Amino acid sequence: MLDDGVHKLVEARETEPMLRNGLRYMQTHTPKEWSDREAFKATASRASAEIVGHFRESKRRIVMIGSRRVRDGNTILTHCHSSAVTETLIEAHMQGKRFRVIQTETRPKYQGRITARELVEAGIDTTMIVDSAARHYMKEIDFVVVGSDAITSEGNVINKIGTSQVALAANEARVPFYVVSTLLKFDPVTIHGEYEAIEERETGEIWENPPEGLKIRNPAFDVTRRDYIHGIITEEGIISPHSILEAVHRHYPWILG
Amino acid sequence: MLDDGVHKLVEARETEPMLRNGLRYMQTHTPKEWSDREAFKATASRASAEIVGHFRESKRRIVMIGSRRVRDGNTILTHCHSSAVTETLIEAHMQGKRFRVIQTETRPKYQGRITARELVEAGIDTTMIVDSAARHYMKEIDFVVVGSDAITSEGNVINKIGTSQVALAANEARVPFYVVSTLLKFDPVTIHGEYEAIEERETGEIWENPPEGLKIRNPAFDVTRRDYIHGIITEEGIISPHSILEAVHRHYPWILG
Amino acid sequence: MLDDGVHKLVEARETEPMLRNGLRYMQTHTPKEWSDREAFKATASRASAEIVGHFRESKRRIVMIGSRRVRDGNTILTHCHSSAVTETLIEAHMQGKRFRVIQTETRPKYQGRITARELVEAGIDTTMIVDSAARHYMKEIDFVVVGSDAITSEGNVINKIGTSQVALAANEARVPFYVVSTLLKFDPVTIHGEYEAIEERETGEIWENPPEGLKIRNPAFDVTRRDYIHGIITEEGIISPHSILEAVHRHYPWILG
Amino acid sequence: MLDDGVHKLVEARETEPMLRNGLRYMQTHTPKEWSDREAFKATASRASAEIVGHFRESKRRIVMIGSRRVRDGNTILTHCHSSAVTETLIEAHMQGKRFRVIQTETRPKYQGRITARELVEAGIDTTMIVDSAARHYMKEIDFVVVGSDAITSEGNVINKIGTSQVALAANEARVPFYVVSTLLKFDPVTIHGEYEAIEERETGEIWENPPEGLKIRNPAFDVTRRDYIHGIITEEGIISPHSILEAVHRHYPWILG
Amino acid sequence: MLDDGVHKLVEARETEPMLRNGLRYMQTHTPKEWSDREAFKATASRASAEIVGHFRESKRRIVMIGSRRVRDGNTILTHCHSSAVTETLIEAHMQGKRFRVIQTETRPKYQGRITARELVEAGIDTTMIVDSAARHYMKEIDFVVVGSDAITSEGNVINKIGTSQVALAANEARVPFYVVSTLLKFDPVTIHGEYEAIEERETGEIWENPPEGLKIRNPAFDVTRRDYIHGIITEEGIISPHSILEAVHRHYPWILG
Amino acid sequence: MLDDGVHKLVEARETEPMLRNGLRYMQTHTPKEWSDREAFKATASRASAEIVGHFRESKRRIVMIGSRRVRDGNTILTHCHSSAVTETLIEAHMQGKRFRVIQTETRPKYQGRITARELVEAGIDTTMIVDSAARHYMKEIDFVVVGSDAITSEGNVINKIGTSQVALAANEARVPFYVVSTLLKFDPVTIHGEYEAIEERETGEIWENPPEGLKIRNPAFDVTRRDYIHGIITEEGIISPHSILEAVHRHYPWILG
């Protein structure tokens, strides 16, 4: 019964391994058989609270670790909106560090505006650019930091469309590129050979009234290859993306079943 | 007198070497001294017609040459709007070739929509994507083709913001990257050490009502380095970007005067 | 006594860590001392059966995992002959996926012909090319997949001569390059500083009646560096080549004994 | 009348710009109109002798220039058979230089064997390898030298299949890669946008009795991009491939007519 | 009390994680509370002896493993002075291998002269060059080997200034680059987000009497990124730099405590 | 008679094409035969004055052109000492631009100290580093500028040992690398296949009293490949290194005579 419910939930949204991992935790920490409905609910509820706790604790650690990478005088580029990224930057700012952030607008949904609002409200010197201008400003950048939607068993990171382009431009200019992400975003199906499906969103986000006959493609995410990632800032610390599988084995073995 | 007028015109818009080259042509083909105002006007008018004629003829040739690069079954990526590019693609289509175009929307002004309309009206199979998705689709692409605002003496191309990012992604994936451009876009001041100034446009194009305190940068162009350009399709033919100076010497020596 | 026999067997063929690992398994799972010859034989025989079982089971898993990477419409390049590769492709085909394979002939022994026969018989759309043409066709390729003779502690793969050239061309064109290999092919001597010796085969394979005075070199294998390998498809799943040592620690710790 | 004959000749064999350039020379140096058949034949015959003379003279110069690049103790890799290459190497040997040559066999037609015979007969220390082993031996190589079938207006070189793979491996290892070629191999149609068609040869060269259903592709040539070519050794001297168009303008302007 | 002493010691010299790790070992292996001063001293002394023993044993293993990588006829480049490197080379020499070493002088302190003396005294064929000439000689080199001052959690190596430049030149020419280093040089603070501070030494080392107004910068170390490192030769064996964290987990878990 | 004298002069110092070009100018502008010794001397003297004049004029132009590339706020790296470089920087400084220079010391002869003195005396903010630290500081650099001893027909630049290492590090970090050089430094023998010999200087420059048995190599120059050079600042303007041959054809055809 739980399995059925879980299955539906999981299928509803693609590219969200953290949700799936949460459900997997509940499954593996809840007895398969039960007689007492109430007892079951209590157990499930406890497991649910535990995994949410793990997530919160991991985020708190990540934010502290990430904030140490920021130095006075840095210029930092970020793309899209990630609460882990904005909390990391705000934490660094509250530690008294003074730095600039360059923020892409992140078409088509303009999530960069959310990031910009949060940073400006926190008093951080923030500059917005169009997504296309990331390479143009790369030489002013000390490091790039982005969030993550999923991490594959090969060490690649799936994140908002355009992330891989920013990573490529950072790599071209020898600018370090960091991902902040809990290990709970590791996607265990990738180890078994599945590709991570890239969600396609509705085309009206790009152009509401396009000319008839025009096709529009609106992928939500792209894949950033591990070779362009200097480090993933996780609850274990800052690790090479090639080590992601080992870190998951160490911290959340139940993800790997 | 002409010199004064020319000077003002030229200063008005940056990154437009073709306009400046046109004026230079008029200057070098109009007598410095004159008594008869009417005679002067006639001479200037003739020079003006000549340079416009050179431009039209060069474009016609470029379109024919470029159209030969298109092959049945190709998928071609373009960025922003360039009449030389759309005419080239439409010419290829009218020759009976069947191919797909992937078109970026080109923030902040959405010039990609103009391109898309022109191509769709011509019956070409066209797909629009956000600028950030160029790398995501690069592996489907047979070649990239863009226009040019200016070409420097070192062989670099200045074009709409984002062009260099597309070129970088094409280079990463070994996809040929072509620029269609008349040699009249060669910028002679670059040979004398000047940087080509990159025009900054008004920030409202990016965000009309940004939160207070947010900075916005809106550069109109970026620089694509010659190493990422397979060929420039000019009135001389398809040449290496490293040969641009020689081609200008051959065709329009008065530019280098 | 077992040690002596093992030693001879192992020396007979270079670059075959799987055989050496099999023998090491037998050694570590058979008592060093024994009184009863029959009991010893039974134990050795059981260990031998176990390791063969491990290998078969790992291969079955690898084939299933690898087959999930294949998608409808893919064009896949392979080099030489590897039963793990052909079984993976045939499994994908039997799952109803329709794809093309491009196969090198693999001089000097033409093992590519064996692969081609197996694939054609299975009904897979297969095209043969000379080894030299791999780069020429690389842009049509969705991914490359090859087998492995040995994997070193640094994460490099030793496989049929020419493999590293294919990997280089794939890397140049941003085409994913996969190796299918059981972890039992990990070569533990490399961790202790030994180079993996590259077997040289007889020159008549290349030219039976060469002109007098001509030298011929016929190395059987070459080394593909880990940076060109997107993933190794193992019994653990698809992993980064940098993780090979950890996966061996997890699955076959006696190899590292 | 001459035009018709020329046309047929030219169409007969693809990728042979030198032949086409020879005919073009004859056309441009023979009157379009004539009354006296004998006079015409004499003129055409003279033009034919002239262009053959140009070719021989250019080759003689190329061989002398190329031979100066060879140094005592060098190890030089070559691919396929090119009389310009073998004559260059033999010239260097006759000058008393002592060096090694590594020669690929060059499937499917084994033209490497012709090269090997010529070099061994000349007393040069020569080693044959399969095409796939070029990268394996690259670190022993001081420079690579190959011939050319055609040079495009962008500076790319079209030569025997596999050349681009050797160039890629040389580039990876920072080994200089030279092409010896008369400027008469410049292909003027490429400047006007045409792709150089790659001839496909008969499949029996690869496998005489392939299994039914197997496809075979046998392209004769591939394209080596200018970025992998250190210099082209021409009758003008050793030049950058980017300068090819200028050198042709200087030496054979009638090619660009 | 111990904690205080340790703290002062550790702060005294930057970039010396091995010292800090040694002290950490003493801390974790000594009771926090004690009554008997003598008992405490004995315990601390024992812990100290243990960690020194670990270090000596690990170095002995590293030297043996590293020496196996050296082959007859090799030319090996090294930079600065590292006793692990010189002992490895001398061990290889004593095994009867004959090879050449090219040694940089290593400004500003000329530590390369120490290395050169040790190697020459051991009878090894040694050539000294200025630091700037490393790239010039790179094509003669079979592999580079250097020591390490610290290894970060991302797999980067901190070593004498100039090391990263040698690694870059090795990478450009496809020359393997090895680091010999005990895992005890892993720097655990890097995993928690700290940058490893680069010590700046006094400017008189560079120029004793500089002209007034001239600034001088004298960083003692630089960072070599993991992508340029083929392997780290450790007490575990030769491993990928990406695996460093795992190897530390396996051998010295108390470092990560 | 002149020819003999010239020959001796030219042979005396290697890698100095400008001297050789100067003598070549004198030869080609002085009659081969003469009766009147005085008349000859006058002619030779005039030719000598002319070529010196060409050189001075070209340098003046180069300095003006180069100075325009400097912008307020730039940080510029230079290596060794080149009067063209220091005059360019001082000219920019006198134009009121405020910028920093980072200067390598340039072992073994410390020519960087000459540069540092000149710049500090001119009031320019100058920082000295050891040669090995160039990569460490590269990310602060806006562009690199160096002089040249010779330019080859392929577009490569021969300059003080270490230049190619700086260029490599600049290229890795996408930092523009400029060479300031008169076209008179073009080396015409390279077009005919000769390698430019690299002068070896005496070993005492590196170590006065080395241990017995130690070899020392002291090459004065190295070769920077054209692909790492953004532009050569010449009397014609800033050109691609690939265009060097054309610019020499245009300005000093007698060099190629």
Is C180 part of the contact surface with chain D (CB cutoff 8 Å)? Answer: no
What is residue F27's predicted lDDT score, i.e. its pLDDT?
Answer: 83
Query: What is the pairing mode between strands C221-224 and E143-146?
Result: unpaired
Interface probe with B: pick from D151, D154, D165, D248, most Cβ of B within 10 Å: D154
Q: Closest to F154 (Cβ–Cβ): which among D67, D71, D239?
A: D239
Confidence of residue D42 (pLDDT cuts 50, 70, 90): confident
Establish, for the pair of chains A and C, how many residue pairs have beta carbons separated by less than 8 Å.
Answer: 51
Is B253 part of the contact surface with chain F (CB cutoff 8 Å)? Answer: no
> Is pLDDT above 50 for F221?
yes
In whole numbers, what is the pLDDT of chain F averaged over residues? 91
Is residue B218 within 8 Å of residue B201, measured between CB atoms? yes
Percent of chain D at pLDDT > 90 equals: 74
pLDDT, one tens digit per residue, over E110-128 is 999 999 999 999 999 999 9
pLDDT, one tens digit per residue, over F42-93 is 888 888 889 889 899 999 999 999 999 999 999 999 999 999 999 999 999 9
- Report which secondary-structure segment, H or E, holds F41: helix F37-69
Determine, for residues F165 and E216 on separate chains, whether the beta-carbon distance falls below 8 Å: no
Confidence of residue D17 (pLDDT cuts 50, 70, 90): confident
Peptide bond into C210 cis (omega under 30): no
Which residue from F minimizes the CA distance to E198?
F136
Is residue A99 within 8 Å of residue A74, measured between CB atoms? yes
Is F242 part of the contact surface with chain B (CB cutoff 8 Å)? Answer: yes
More reliable by pLDDT, C210 or F193: C210
pLDDT, one tens digit per residue, over F118-150 is 999 999 999 999 999 999 999 999 999 999 999
Confidence of residue B14 (pLDDT cuts 50, 70, 90): low
Is D197 part of the contact surface with chain C (CB cutoff 8 Å)? Answer: no
What is residue B60's predicted lDDT score, i.e. its pLDDT?
Answer: 96
pLDDT, one tens digit per residue, over D229-248 is 999 999 999 999 999 999 99
Is there contact between E and B if contact means ≥3 C-beta pairs under 8 Å?
Answer: no
What is residue B89's predicted lDDT score, i.e. its pLDDT?
Answer: 98
What is residue D10's predicted lDDT score, i.e. its pLDDT?
Answer: 53
Integer Cα distance of B204 and D243 in angstroms: 46
Is D139 part of the contact surface with chain E (CB cutoff 8 Å)? Answer: yes
What is residue A1's predicted lDDT score, i.e. its pLDDT?
Answer: 46
> Is pLDDT above 50 for E144?
yes
Contacts of F172 in chain A (CB under 8 A): 174
Integer Cα distance of D26 and A37 in angstroms: 97
DSSP F139: G
What is residue C22's predicted lDDT score, i.e. its pLDDT?
Answer: 86
Q: Closest to A168 (Cβ–Cβ): which among B116, B169, B217?
A: B169
Query: Where are any strands of DSSP class E within chain C?
Result: 75-78, 100-104, 125-129, 143-146, 150-151, 157-160, 177-180, 215-216, 221-224, 231-234, 237-239
What is residue D182's predicted lDDT score, i.e. its pLDDT?
Answer: 96
For tokens 């994507």, name the residue: B129
Is C113 part of the contact surface with chain D (CB cutoff 8 Å)? Answer: yes
Distances (CA, A) of E76 to D175, E142, F131: 19, 6, 21
What is residue D31's predicted lDDT score, i.e. its pLDDT?
Answer: 74
Is C66 part of the contact surface with chain A (CB cutoff 8 Å)? Answer: yes
Q: Please report the ipTM that was assigned to this predicted complex.
A: 0.92
Reading the block at residue B147, the tokens are 């226009």
Half-sphere exposure of E161 (CA within 13 A, CB side): 26
pLDDT, one tens digit per residue, over C188-235 is 988 888 777 789 999 999 999 999 999 999 999 999 999 999 999 999
Q: How would DSSP label each residue in E64-83?
A: HHHHHH--TT-EEEE-S--H
> Is pLDDT above 90 for D196?
no
Confidence of residue E157 (pLDDT cuts 50, 70, 90): very high
Q: Closest to C66 (Cβ–Cβ): which among A193, A227, A246?
A: A193
SS3 B36: coil
E200/chain F closest Cα distance in angstroms: 12
Q: Closest to B238 (Cβ–Cβ): which among D193, D243, D246?
A: D193
Is A121 part of the contact surface with chain B (CB cutoff 8 Å)? Answer: yes
> Is pLDDT above 50 for F1?
no
pLDDT, one tens digit per residue, over B180-195 is 999 999 999 888 887 7
Residues of C numbered 202-241 whose beta carbons fall under 8 angstroms of chain B's beta carbons: which are they? none
pLDDT, one tens digit per residue, over B219-237 is 999 999 999 999 999 999 9
Q: Closest to A126 (Cβ–Cβ): which among B117, B133, B215?
A: B215
Nearest C-alpha neighbor of F161 from the set B62, A147, E169, B223: E169
What is residue E134's predicted lDDT score, i.e. its pLDDT?
Answer: 98
Which residue from F minimizes the CA distance to A141?
F139
Q: What is the mean pLDDT of residues C122-132?
A: 98
How big is the CA angle at C245 (ends C242 and C249), to the nearest 5 degrees? 145
What is residue E10's predicted lDDT score, i.e. its pLDDT?
Answer: 53
What is residue F230's predicted lDDT score, i.e. its pLDDT?
Answer: 96
What is residue D1's predicted lDDT score, i.e. its pLDDT?
Answer: 46
A141/chain F closest Cα distance in angstroms: 10
For tokens 């002939």, name the residue: C105
What is residue C1's predicted lDDT score, i.e. its pLDDT?
Answer: 46
- Per annotation, catalytic residue among B4, B125, B149, B222: B149
> Is pLDDT above 90 for A7?
no
Confidence of residue D38 (pLDDT cuts 50, 70, 90): confident
Confidence of residue B1 (pLDDT cuts 50, 70, 90): very low
Assess whether F149 carries a catalytic annotation.
yes
pLDDT, one tens digit per residue, over C171-192 is 999 999 999 999 999 999 888 8
More reliable by pLDDT, C160 or A257: C160
Is C200 part of the contact surface with chain A (CB cutoff 8 Å)? Answer: no
pLDDT, one tens digit per residue, over F97-124 is 999 999 999 999 999 999 999 999 999 9
More reliable by pLDDT, A199 or A132: A132
Q: What is the mean pLDDT of residues D129-134?
A: 98
What is residue D7's predicted lDDT score, i.e. its pLDDT?
Answer: 55
What is residue F41's predicted lDDT score, i.e. its pLDDT?
Answer: 80
pLDDT, one tens digit per residue, over B115-132 is 999 999 999 999 999 999
Integer Cα distance of B1 and B57 in angstroms: 30
> Can you give E83-133 as a three-state secondary structure string?
HHHHHHHHHHHHCCCCCEEEEECCCCCCHHHHHHHHHHHCCCEEEEECHHH
SS3 E237: strand
C199: phi then psi, degrees, rounded to nearest 5: -60, 135
How big is the CA angle at F184 (ends F178 and F189), to the nearest 5 degrees? 105
Is D61 part of the contact surface with chain C (CB cutoff 8 Å)? Answer: no
Q: Closest to F68 (Cβ–Cβ): which among B153, B192, B225?
A: B192
Confidence of residue A64 (pLDDT cuts 50, 70, 90): very high
Is there contact between E and F if contact means ≥3 C-beta pairs under 8 Å?
Answer: yes
Establish, for the pair of chains A and F, how many residue pairs have beta carbons separated by less than 8 Å.
Answer: 10
What is residue F11's predicted lDDT score, i.e. its pLDDT?
Answer: 55
> Is pLDDT above 50 for E1?
no
How big is the CA angle at F67 (ends F65 and F69), to the nearest 5 degrees? 85
Q: What is the mean pLDDT of residues C96-110?
A: 98
